[in-house]
Structure 1
Amino acid sequence: MDAAFASRAELPVSVGGCTHCYGAADLDALAGPVHRIADDLIQHVAHEVPGHWDDFPGLYRKLAPRTVRFLVADKLNHDMVASWFIAAGWRDWTATERAALENVWHAWWRSVLHSHPSTGDVTHVWETLGAITGTLAPWLTAWAQTRTEAADRHLRDALDQWLVEGELADLHFGFYKEMHATPELLPWLRSLEDGRIDAEQLVEVERISSSH
């Protein structure tokens, strides 16, 4: 990612923003090389609503590599960052930048599926990837094909959350609830091989499916 975004990261740009929330020193720092920006300022901007900036897409694009590092380290609000990447129009960035981000998304998901416990809640990671990319298919396919104990434990953990909190019947994610997951998730859960889902969980999945 550093290589893909190198020219953008080092290029000084004019950063205009809400001067009530950000002082001149903050705006000057954001205008300079990314590696010199303090961690806490990067994290704050990663959560800031787009309307605070004169050029939100440009600023978020510039900070993308460091923002993603904090995201993968579970130091940011997943829903907000997913929606802010969408708002920044990351799918319209250069092919090199998009490829770098997509490589991170896939590597992040593989890492989670092969480790339990993992850094960050599996549902947060999966929901983030679905919202950011606008598709559930690659992440569900990888989950189905990854026959590790970690992947199965993550699946049971996710179902515990979705079923206990009643989310599975109408599951949305992204800060603005951009992605409606239930229509695709329910058939996928029912298609899994026997034994991947606990019997009690499967009964609930079937019950919810029958009502849709």
Structure 2
Amino acid sequence: MDAAFAPLAEQPFTVGGCTYCYTDTDLGALAGPAHQVPEELISFVASESTDHWDDFTALYRRMTPRIVRQLATGQLHVDHGLVASRLLAAGWRNWTMPEQEALESVWHAWWRSALHEYPGTEPVTGVLETISVSTGSLSPWLAVWAETRTEAAGRHLSDALDDWLFEGRLTDLRFGFYNELHATSELLTWLLSLEEDRIGAAQLIEVERIAYS
């Protein structure tokens, strides 16, 4: 990602924003070399509302490699759905092709890594929410999960179902900070397509009840 975003990171940049929340020193630091921006400011950029910046899209795009790296390594304590929503707001699908491809490559690598490690640095549902909301679809990521027949992937699925089935959340499950992706239909179709040994009996009964009620 650093290489793909290097032309943007090295360009002269001016940051304007809410001077009630951020000092001139903060804004100056954000305008400096992207790799030198203090980590605490990265978390603010990742989570702050878009109207706090004069040019949110340009700032978020410039900080994306830092934000994504910290998120994927468990160092960014910001809601996964919020990061995905901010990427959508920044219009990442309109960025340069090298930038888009770099981000997609990270999503694929992060997802496969998460499925092969248990316990991970964070619940696998957070990873799935980030990549599915930002790309607009669950299907390709669920297909990878179905193909991954490791013990880690199975335990992640059991944990995810515990989360999704809690208090009937799966009946109307939405991903993204602003509920951009309605996940219920895709998830139910996928869960019912899995081999019988992939889901515990009690969980499967509840999934079927939701699907056929």
Give the TM-score of the pair, scaled to structure 2. 0.97
* Superposed counterparts of 1:36-185, under 5 Å: 36-74=36-74, 75=76, 76-185=78-187
Per-residue CA deviations over 1:134-157 (Å, capped at 9, x if unaligned) read 111110000000010100110000
Give the count of matched residue pairs.
211
**C-alpha displacement of 1:93:** 0.4
Aligned-pair RMSD on alpha carbons? 0.8
> How far does residue 49 in structure 1 lie from its aligned partner after superposition?
0.5
SS in 1 for 2:2: coil
Give SS of 1:54's match.
Answer: coil
How far does residue 89 in structure 1 lie from its aligned partner after superposition?
A: 0.3
Unpaired segments of 5 or more residues in structure 2? none
Amino acid at match of 2:3: A
Instruction: Give, in whole Å, the separation in 2 of the partners of 1:77 and 1:206.
Output: 30
Equivalent residue, structure 2, for 1:207 = 209
**CA–CA separation in structure 1 for the residues paired with 2:19 and 2:211:** 50
Per the normalisation by structure 1, the TM-score is 0.97
* Structure 1 position 174, deviation (Å): 0.5
| AA at the equivalent of 1:99 | E
Cα shift at 1:166: 1.8
**Distance in 2 of aligned mates of 1:10 and 1:201:** 51
Partner SS state of residue 196, structure 2: coil
2:35 maps to 35
Partner in structure 2 of residue 190 of structure 1: 192
Unaligned runs of 5+ in 1: none
Q: Spell out, residue by residue over 1:38-67, the C-alpha distance to the aligned partner (whole angstroms, 9 max, x if none).
A: 011111111100011111000000000000
Amino acid at match of 2:57: P
Counterpart Cα distance in 1 of 2:140 and 2:189: 15
Are 1:11 and 1:32, in contact at CA under 8 Å, matched by a contact in 2?
no
Percentage of matched positions with identical amino acids: 61
Q: Distance in 2 between matches of 1:194 and 1:19?
A: 57
- How far the C-alpha of 1:10 sits from its partner, in A, is 1.9
Structure 1 CA distance for aligned equivalents of residues 79 and 161 of structure 2: 21
Checking the alignment, whether the CA contact within 8 Å between 1:131 and 1:174 is kept in structure 2 is yes
Write the distance in 1 (CA, Å) between the matches of 2:168 and 2:40: 35
